[in-house]
Structures are given as structure tokens and as C-alpha cells.
Amino acid sequence: DTEVTQTPKHLVMGMTNKKSLKCEQHMGHRAMYWYKQKAKKPPELMFVYSYEKLSINESVPSRFSPECPNSSLLNLHLHALQPEDSALYLCASSQAVGPLYEQYFGPGTRLTVT
């Protein structure tokens, strides 16, 4: 099973809402990632978790709060977002961090902030 699942598929939220995105993998991978992708642009890295610890935060605003409760699960908590945060949010996992390992991506959550 090489599947990364993400829920929900679509999310519409207001600027005062709090919501969470969920990502799950059962491949035994110890590295997990959040990317953001705006329309017609390449994915941009947001966060990297390695062995359930945050190892990279690409200067992401604090209104995005990642959480890795266990090795299979990755959450992204959203609060007080802006309309410009509307994008496709992609989760990925790999066996470990490093250039040797390929990443497996989920289908993404398409977020619209109104």
C-alpha cells in the first residue's frame, strides 16, 4: 500500500473559523511533509516532520499550526486564515528525510477561504 490519504477533499472556511486538515499513511514512513500549491504554480514546502518532530518550518505564518500525533498521522490546524491562503494543500511522506528517498503525495485538500 503506497497510499497517502487526505481529508477533507475540499474545505471552505471563513476568516474567523478554525479547521484542521488530516493526512494519514500506513507505509511505515518516518518523514511527513506539508506543501502548499497555488493555481498553476509548483508546490512549495511548508513543514517537515522527522520521527514525529518538526524539523523544518519554512517561515510559515503562525495561523498554520502543524501537528504530528504519531508516525502515521499528520494534521494541519488552520486559524484566522486570509483569502490569499486559498490553495491546494498537499501532504507527502517518505521513508526518511534525505535525497535518497522518494516522496509519496496525497491528492490534496483544496481550501477556499472566504
Give the residues lining the site for other proteins (CB under 8 A): 4, 31, 33, 42-45, 48, 50, 55-56, 90, 92, 97-100, 102-108
**Least separation in angstroms between CB 33 and other proteins:** 6
* Cα distance between residue 104 and residue 100, in whole Å: 13
* Residue 13 bridge partners (DSSP): 113
Closest separation in Å from C-beta 30 to other proteins: 12
CA-based nearest residue to 72, from 109, 28, 102:
28
Could you tell me the smallest distance in angstroms from the CB atom of residue 15 to other proteins?
26
CB closer to other proteins out of 84 and 100 = 100
Report the alpha-carbon angle 23-114-49, nearest 5: 25
The smaller minimum CB distance to other proteins, of residues 16 and 42, is found at: 42
- Nearest CA to 33 out of 61, 62, 1, 60 is that of 60
**Nearest CB to other proteins, comparing residues 3 and 14:** 3
